[in-house]
């Protein structure tokens, strides 16, 4: 029984560290490629596997970079009672809150802006490796901005006796139901102001937070504990997870919220990629991979980590 408990806790911890879950992040980056227009889509489609496989690099980087975690969230209520009262620019936020507070309670909107400009510069330099690295990272941060639980200090329900709700919402539900979602989201559009758009996304996500917490709490109060959880074997370990019945009920209570947020993530990711290319002057990307000769070799993939360390 002791070993069973350890396995359960280890797997739960592994799931909690991954925003949106590996499955959802990879799917979002993959499908965002199909929102792109002519002139851009050929390059991205040629490298769609890289963009999907590396969609979770930003989460993995937390283990090597202690500053990485804060780039994935924004504890809105810690900064201000109302999200609109938080300074919009990083410079103003730094002046008001200080670096230590920003590094503790999150800097997601400003990280989206930073990654966006890194991608613009990569396009200007026609650097195929950096284009893909920053596209993958930017897609990850944009997807995180669409998760309501990334906008609160109560990110895992620890302040409302709902421990585990983070992985439940962004990992368990997509893994169970995402195959049935409608991913026809239309074509990418140009974003006039990337930082303002990031704030718009986060504000919308934060507005969903009360429903995320309230609906789960209400459902939990109606069902006995033995119907809430189940056990399954994954990677030679037995894990405790929310049952299929409970997951289905919560998914229905939220009226397709997870699907809507995934769809919005896909379109926003494609739109940010497209806008970065436009702002870079719409550089010609044909034969770019062949010219740089990096991405088809192990050498190019090994340099991904070097790129992020150098530029951050």
pLDDT in tens, 135-179: 999 999 999 999 999 999 999 999 999 999 999 999 999 999 999
Q: Select from 307, 281, 278, 284 the least CA-distant residue to 294.
A: 307
Q: Is the dihedral of CA 70, 12, 51, 66 positive or negative?
A: positive
d(CA 256, CA 252): 7
- Taking only the tens place, the pLDDT of each residue in 38-70 is 999 999 999 999 999 999 999 999 899 999 999
What is the per-residue DSSP string for 162-185? Answer: -TTHHHIIIIIHHHHHGGGS----
- Give me the pLDDT at residue 289, please: 60
Domains of the chain: 20-158+258-311 (1.10.575)
pLDDT value at residue 21? 78
Answer for the pair 71, 107: CB distance below 8 angstroms, yes or no: yes
Q: pTM for the whole thing?
A: 0.90
> What average pLDDT does range 84-106 have in this prediction?
99
- Mean residue pLDDT of the chain comes to 90
26-30-35-37 Cα dihedral, nearest 10 degrees: 130
Model confidence over 6-20: pLDDT tens digits?
A: 333 333 433 344 567
74 sits in which H/E element: none
Terminal Cα-to-Cα distance of the chain (whole angstroms): 45
If you average pLDDT over residues 118-126, what whole number do you get? 98
Residue 308: predicted pLDDT: 55
pLDDT of residue 304: 56
pLDDT band at 287 (very low <50, low <70, confident <90, very high): confident
């Amino acid at each position: 029984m002791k070993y069973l408990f350890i396995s359960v806790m280890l797997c739960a911890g592994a799931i909690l560290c991954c925003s949106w879950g590996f499955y959802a992040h990879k799917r979002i980056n993959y499908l965002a490629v199909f929102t792109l227009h002519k002139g851009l889509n050929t390059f991205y489609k040629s490298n769609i596997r890289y963009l999907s496989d590396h969609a979770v690099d930003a989460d993995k980087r937390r283990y090597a970079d202690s500053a990485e975690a804060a780039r994935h969230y924004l504890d809105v209520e810690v900064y201000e009672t109302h999200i609109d009262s938080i300074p919009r620019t990083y410079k103003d936020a730094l002046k008001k809150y200080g670096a230590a507070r920003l590094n503790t309670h999150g800097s997601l909107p400003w990280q989206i802006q930073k990654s966006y400009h890194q991608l613009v510069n990569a396009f200007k330099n026609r650097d195929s490796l950096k284009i893909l690295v920053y596209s993958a990272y930017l897609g990850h941060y944009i997807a995180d901005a669409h998760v309501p639980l990334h906008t609160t200090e109560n990110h895992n329900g620890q302040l409302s006796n709902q421990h585990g709700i983070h992985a439940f919402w962004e990992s368990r539900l997509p893994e169970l139901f995402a195959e049935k979602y409608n991913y026809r989201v239309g074509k990418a559009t140009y974003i006039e102001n990337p930082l303002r758009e990031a704030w718009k996304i986060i504000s919308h996500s934060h507005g969903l937070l009360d429903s995320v917490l309230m609906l789960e709490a209400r459902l939990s109060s109606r069902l006995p504990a033995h119907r809430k959880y189940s056990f399954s074997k994954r990677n030679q370990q037995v894990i405790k997870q929310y049952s299929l019945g409970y997951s289905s009920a919560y998914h229905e209570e939220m009226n397709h919220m997870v699907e809507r947020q995934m769809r919005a993530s896909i379109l926003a990711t494609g739109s940010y990629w497209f806008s970065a290319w436009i702002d870079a002057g719409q550089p010609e990307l044909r034969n770019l991979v062949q010219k740089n000769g990096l991405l088809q070799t192990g050498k190019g993939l090994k340099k991904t980590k070097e790129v992020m360390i150098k530029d951050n």
